[in-house]
Structure 1
Amino acid sequence: MTTAWNWYVIILVLFNLLGVTWLLWWTAKRRPGDPKPEDTSHYWDGDITEYNKPMPRWWINGFYIAIVFAFGYLFWYGGFGTYQGFGKWSSQGEHDRQAAVANARLEQTFAPYKGLAIDALARDPQALKLGKSIFANTCATCHGSSAKGAVGYPDLTDDIWHWGGAPEQILHTVVQGREGVMPPWGKVLQGMGGPDAVDYVIAYVHQLGEPAGGNRNDYAAARGKTLYEGVCVACHGKDGKGDAKVGAPDLTDGYWLYGDGREALRVTIGDGRHGVMPAWGKILGDTRSRLVAAYVWSLSHQAKPGAQTQQ
């Protein structure tokens, strides 16, 4: 806040408080010539009389006490521009104190699960309950309360994982986040195969997911295969199985994050996609990240008692 605005706030506050004080004093004061409290000569219906009685002193004094309290409050807690007040109170400081108390209670709750492996936590019903609660507060906005996802947000209940579905891979995703980039290949492909090049690649990609590779006599798919092997193979592999190391999805499993319709794939291949999974490690901390990762892992894995855990 600039100095000018600071003084503007101070003057405005003082003007209001002093103005209310003056108005209270002025209206409560009786002046020479005022009618007596019982004598105004205003009558209605013969028996209804208007009086001019002042407010009771205790009522007026109550207002004065409230004004004095307001000055004391502003001097103690601050309210005159950027003046902090004698008490040095601030909403930020209050938030930090309350957050520290709440975090201390949470640490006690999460302490038994500190450092445990994801699949070990997935066998603990209470840990899963806590993980589900964390998921609802942080992850459900994108992935949905049922974790089924939506267009552009992966389904976490199936066995398809673009970045790998092992316990520690899921934990890495939660803690450090992921950034998946599909480059825009439209102009490159058109330069290689003409204006219909993107459609050729779409035909071949659809063929990859069909039994026995689909119709081998499909002209568009045959043209698309050549283009695919010149551009797409670097990330998705020659067989279209993808690469979890770079987040390149498997093109043969029938799962399409942004849809498998022709228009959706034209956008994906021609214009590219950019998906970001935020890093939650600094916000949740290690233990809560492990709990939510365990819950997510449990949605598509049945942890078996006595199974070996991964540290």
Structure 2
Amino acid sequence: MTTAWNWYVIVLILFNLLGITWLLWWTSKRRPGDPKPDETSHYWDGDITEYNKPMPRWWINGFYIAIVFAFGYLFWYGGFGTYQGFGHWSSKGEHDQEAAIANAQLEKTFAPYKGQAIDVLAQNPQALKLGKSIFANTCSTCHGSSAKGAVGYPNLTDQIWHWGGSPEQILHTVLNGREGVMPAWGKTLQGMGGPDAVDYVIAYVHQLGDKDASARSDYAAARGKTLYEGICVACHGKDGKGDQKVGAPDLTDSYWMYGDSREALRETISNGRHGVMPAWGTVLGDTRSRLVAAYVWSLSHSPKPGTQSAQ
């Protein structure tokens, strides 16, 4: 806030408070020559008289007390422009204080699970219950309440993991996040194989997973194989099995995060994809991250005999 706006706010506040004080004093003051409260000479129907009685003193004094309180409030909490106030109060400071109290209480709840391995936590019904609650508050926005994902957001209930599905890999994903980038190869492929180059690669990718067999063109797939081995093999591998080190998906399975239709694959290959999994470590902390990672891991791993599932 500039100095001019700062003074504008201060003057406006003082004008209103002082103006209200003056108006209260002026209107409650009786002047010489004013009729008595019951001598207004206003009558209706012969026996109805209008009085002009002043407000009770306790009521007027209550207004004055409220005005004094307003000045005190503004000086203590800071309401005059950028003035911070004697109390040095701020909404951020109060939020941080309340958050610290809440976090301290949460730490007591999560303390028994501190540092435990993901697969160990996954066998604890109470730990899974807490992990499910954290998932619902944090992860369900993208992955859905059932964790089955959506277009562009992976399904967490199957056995397919682009970045690895071991307990350690899932915990790393939760703590540090992931960023998957599929470059836009449309122009490059067209320069190598002509205007239909992207469709050739799609035909070969479908052949890798044995999809769309009735409409597959052997010629297109053969052309696509050459183009694939010139560009795509670096990330997805010669056999199309992908590489979990870089998050490159397996092209031979039945799962396609952005869809396996020709239109979806054409968009993916031509214009690329950019998926980001945020890092939740700084938000949730280590223990809560472990609990939610244990819950996610449990979704695709059956509990051992004799244990209960929190799902």
- When the two structures are superposed, what TM-score results if normalisation uses the length of structure 1? 0.93
Deviation at 1:46, TM superposition (A): 4.7
- Give yes or no for the alignment of 1:76 onto 2:76: yes
Q: 1:39 to 1:242 in 2, by over 3 A?
A: same
1:4 Cα deviation after fit: 1.8
Contact 2:203/2:217 (<8 A) preserved:
no
Superposed displacement of residue 49, structure 1: 3.3
Written as runs of structure 1 = structure 2, the 5 A alignment for 1:1-311 is 1-210=1-210, 218-304=218-304
Measured after TM superposition, the shift of residue 264 of structure 1 is 1.1
Q: Classify the secondary structure of the residue corresponding to 2:180.
A: strand
Structure 1 portions without partners, runs of 5+: 307-311
- Are the equivalent residues in 2 in contact too, given 1:281–1:289 (CA < 8 A)? yes
Question: Displacement of 1:91 after TM fit?
Answer: 1.6
How far did 1:70 drift? 1.1
Kept in 1, the 8 Å contact 2:203–2:216? The answer is no
CA contact (8 A) 2:114 2:287 kept: yes
Measured after TM superposition, the shift of residue 221 of structure 1 is 1.4
After superposition, what is the alpha-carbon deviation per residue over 1:122-144, rounded to whole angstroms, capped at 9, x for unaligned?
A: 00011111111111111111111
Q: CA deviation at 1:159?
A: 0.8
The equivalent of 1:309 in structure 2 is none
1:206 counterpart SS class: helix
Where 1:195 maps in the other structure, the secondary structure is coil
Q: How far is 1:45 from its partner?
A: 4.7
Counterpart contact for 1:207–1:214, Cα < 8 Å: no
Q: Counterparts of 1:116 and 1:148 in 2: how far apart (Å)?
A: 26
SS at match of 2:37: coil
Secondary structure at the aligned position of 1:274 is classed as strand
Deviation of 1:42 after TM superposition, in Å, equals: 3.2
Aligned-pair CA distance for 1:41: 3.2
2:158/2:300 contact within 8 Å kept:
yes
CA distance in 1, matches of 2:300, 2:126: 18
| TM superposition shift of 1:2 | 2.2
Query: Which runs of 5 or more residues in structure 2 are unaligned?
Result: 307-311
% same residue: 86
- Give the aligned length: 307
Secondary structure of 2:111 counterpart: helix
CA deviations 1:75-132 (Å, max 9, x no partner) are 2222112222222222222112111111111111111111100000000011111111
